[in-house]
Amino acid sequence: MSKKTGYFFLRISMGINFFGHGLVRLTKLQDFADGMTAGFEKSWLPQVLVHAFSTALPFLEFTIGLLLMIGFKTRVAAMSGASLIVLLLFGSSTVENWEAMGIQMIYAGLFYMLISKIEDNNLAVDRK
C-alpha cells in the first residue's frame, strides 16, 4: 500500500471516529453535556466552564470529523483535532481518569501522524 493510500485510510478513519462521536452526542446534546458535567463535579474546574465545553464538544467533533472524512482543510482539521485532544487530556487529568488519558494519547499519536505526513494527503478535496 502506498503512503498516500495509507494516509487516506487514516484520515478517513479518524474522520469517521470524530464524526460519529459528534453525531451521536448531538442527538442527545443536553443529556451528554449534563452527564459530562456531572463527571467533573469533583474536579477543580468551574462547572459552568465544563458545561460550556461539553456542550460545544459534539459540534467540534462533528465538524472536525466531517472535514477529515472529505479531506477539506485537512491541516486545520487535524490541528484542531489535536488541540481538542490536548484539552480532553487536561480535563481527564483533573479527575484522574488515567484510562481515558491512555486512549486520548493514542488519538494524539494518530493526529501527530496526520499532521506530520500531510504531504501524503493526495486523495482529498484539498488536492482537487
Residue 50 vs residues 8, 18, 90, 92, 115: alpha-carbon distances, Å: 34, 20, 12, 11, 28
Residues 56-114 pLDDT 10s? 999 999 999 999 999 999 999 999 999 999 999 999 999 999 999 999 999 999 999 99
Residue 128 has pLDDT above 80, yes or no: no
Mean pLDDT of the chain: 96
10 Å CB burial of residue 127 (0-12, 13-18, 19+) is exposed
Residue 93 vs residues 6, 98, 119, 120: alpha-carbon distances, Å: 32, 7, 33, 33
Q: What percent of the chain has pLDDT over 70?
A: 98
Nearest of 109, 83, 114, 104 to residue 8 by alpha carbon: 114
Domain range list for the chain: 3-119
User: What does pTM read for this prediction?
Assistant: 0.95
Residue 127 has pLDDT above 70, yes or no: yes
> What phi, psi does 96 have (nearest 5°)?
55, 40
What letter does residue 122 receive in the DSSP assignment? -
**Cell 484539498 -> residue:** 126
pLDDT band at 1 (very low <50, low <70, confident <90, very high): low
Task: Please state the separation of Cα 66 from the chain's center in Å.
Answer: 11
Q: What is the mean pLDDT of residues 33-58?
A: 97
Q: What is the mean pLDDT of residues 35-43?
A: 96
Residue 125 has pLDDT above 70, yes or no: yes
Q: What is the mean pLDDT of residues 24-38?
A: 97
Grid cell of 31 as nine digits: 443529556
